[in-house]
Structure 1
């Protein structure tokens, strides 16, 4: 009996641990941070910003503007470029516009999976000169049950609503019909046996 209980507990523990590990997919926040870092590197190289420079940095209004600004600022400082806030009278040397920073989910071919698309698109203006930065898109297919483990409610760009799973004849009609029929047969058999 103890052996059977041990085997059952080990099996349940293994399935629980397997269900909690979601694979090698990066978290939504990590993908967006890496994308912003790459776009900031492109912006730095195109702006000819040298280490030791002090740059007024502005990020235009967006729900995640403070977060994106901190990421760009951190990347500039990692490259030796100091930033300063923009005063009302000062024109920013670098101005960043968040065109798109979002996570989206689309149905996948398997009903228990979804395709996650993370898009980061920034445009910048450097010393009055517009810079076109290519959008960064990251796509991955993931299990529907693991979506919450990979997204965060901390920022608007890091979460999205899941699409409804596709329905089938089995899910909509046959499975409920079989359950109702099984319950009816059980009730009929119960009363048949009782009356005898």
Structure 2
């Protein structure tokens, strides 16, 4: 009997764990930026790359991921702070996490967007745009999972989770019923006590 109960609990727990496995925002963004860097490495045939990353609140984070991926691909990568000195220019158009309400008030839609363009300044013609992937990931998740999977570490890795929508019941009917029940209870107590 214990074995059956234990195996049933393990089965239920594994199903719950599988159902709630949602990747962290930081991991999804990291993977998307890595894919951009891998695509650039596949299209630019130089072993020594100087790259520039445009102004953005997450510029340093993106630059570190790009540099790491270029080095993993066997390239010598140098981040330069002046665009004119670079071979490849990465322009960050959007790195963000957004949450929107759904009809079901227990869940929200998480949208992660990573859009970075890359330009090869050392190619002929100069400024040739490189084909790079972009990410738009939409996932329906619970509010608790949204809070647990985002991080405040970078501006693009978190968003504002909207409060649950209020209804007539929450705003008006429920408080009126509670006040009426409390008043009735007090009235009954005084009535019983006076007799």
TM-score normalised over the length of structure 1: 0.82
Which moves more between the two structures, 155-164 or 63-72?
Answer: 155-164
Runs of 4+ in 1 over 6 A off after TM superposition: 19-22
Instruction: Let me know the Cα RMSD of the aligned residues.
Output: 2.2
Structure 1 segments unaligned to the other structure (5+ residues): 1-18
Name the structure 2 match of 1:145: 144
Residues 158/62 of structure 1: CA separation in 2 closer, same or farther (3 Å cut): same
CA distance in 2, matches of 1:46, 1:133: 10
- TM-score normalised by structure 2 residue count: 0.82
Pick closer, same or farther for the CA change 1:88–1:96 going to 2, 3 Å. Answer: closer
SS of 1:193's partner is: helix
User: Which residue of structure 1 lines up, in the alignment, with residue 168 of structure 2?
Assistant: 169
After superposition, what is the alpha-carbon deviation per residue over 1:9-61, rounded to whole angstroms, capped at 9, x for unaligned?
xxxxxxxxxx9998110000001011111122222222234xxx111111111
How many residue pairs align between the two structures? Answer: 175
SS at 2:116's partner residue?
Answer: strand
Provide the secondary structure at the position in 2 that maps to 1:189: helix
Corresponding residue of 2:94: 100
| Contact 2:39 2:133 (C-alpha < 8 Å) held by counterparts | no
Task: Verify the 8 A CA contact 1:121 1:133 in the aligned structure 2.
Answer: no
1:71 and 1:92 map into 2 onto residues whose CA distance is 17
